[in-house]
């Protein structure tokens, strides 16, 4: 089952999957709307008989200095990145418990360390990391695994989305290409982690290095951020 807001993208992906001999069910769904995920899960149950794996992937990034951001910016960020994940969990968990399934929650390396100008996004991903850890303990005896996926810089449109959640397709990629991992490579890493029921998968070499040093030498990471003026990406320009 493919659930997202952009039905044109869903239809194209479903067609690609079906050409390979697999089944795909595209469903228009917004994780910020109560009831949408329950409706989607019901459709998946009817079509496939149940759910073995659920991936909570919806998210975007609000960026900017704390003093310039408004409370509404933080509310908007959490509505998708945190409460959207909770809605996905509540909708799919009964199915996953019944089938001893797997849940993957897409977090971020920003859920381990925060850079200047990234407080809304980092806060949401720190929250998601805590949610995945707590939930993993709660459902372990039910045979359900929870895998937190913490990507670094992966090929996607997230860096072309502004603080209002609008895609700015004309915005240039702000991250050097040599540190951006392809979507295919990231997907393979994620699938392996889910299949092996791993507690966490950190995607991208740079992401693994960042998480390692944040865990074992946080003082060094902090010093490097301040010494070299490391900052979050800027918001894509609005017309």
Q: Per this entry, what is the length of the chain? A: 239
CA–CA dist 55, 102 (Å, integer) = 9
**Of 35, 28, 78, 88, the residue nearest 57 (C-alpha):** 88
CA–CA dist 186, 151 (Å, integer) = 8
Q: Tell me whether residue 121 is one of the annotated catalytic residues.
A: yes
Task: Pick the catalytic residue from 60, 121, 126, 153.
Answer: 121
CB-based contacts of 74, cutoff 8 Å, min separation 6: 62, 120, 123
Instruction: With residue 147 as reference, give the H or E element that holds it.
Output: strand 145-151
In the structure encoding, which two tokens stand for residue 197, read together? 């029921």
CA–CA dist 45, 55 (Å, integer) = 16
In the structure encoding, which two tokens stand for residue 159, read together? 């860096």
Catalytic residues: 121
């Amino acid at each position: 089952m493919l659930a997202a807001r952009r039905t044109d993208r869903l239809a194209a992906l479903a067609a690609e999957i079906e050409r390979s001999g697999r089944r795909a069910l595209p469903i228009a769904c917004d994780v910020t709307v109560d009831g949408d995920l329950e409706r989607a899960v019901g459709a998946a149950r009817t079509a496939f008989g149940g759910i073995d794996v659920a991936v909570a992937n919806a998210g975007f990034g609000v960026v900017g200095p704390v003093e310039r951001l408004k409370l509404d910016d933080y509310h908007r960020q959490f509505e998708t990145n945190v409460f959207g994940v909770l809605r996905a969990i509540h909708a799919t968990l009964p199915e996953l418990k019944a089938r001893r399934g797997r849940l993957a929650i897409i977090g971020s390396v920003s859920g381990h360390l925060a850079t200047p100008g990234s407080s809304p996004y980092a806060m949401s991903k720190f929250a998601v990391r805590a949610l995945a850890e707590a939930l993993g303990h709660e459902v372990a005896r039910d045979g359900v695994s929870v895998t937190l996926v913490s990507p670094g810089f992966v090929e996607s449109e997230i860096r072309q989305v502004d603080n209002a959640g609008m895609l700015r397709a004309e915005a240039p990629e702000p991250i050097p290409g040599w540190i951006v991992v392809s979507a295919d490579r990231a997907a393979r890493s994620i699938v392996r982690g889910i299949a092996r029921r791993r507690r966490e998968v950190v995607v991208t070499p740079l992401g693994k290095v960042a998480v390692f040093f944040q865990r074992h030498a946080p003082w060094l990471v902090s010093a490097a951020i301040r010494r070299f003026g490391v900052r979050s990406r800027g918001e894509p320009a609005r017309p």
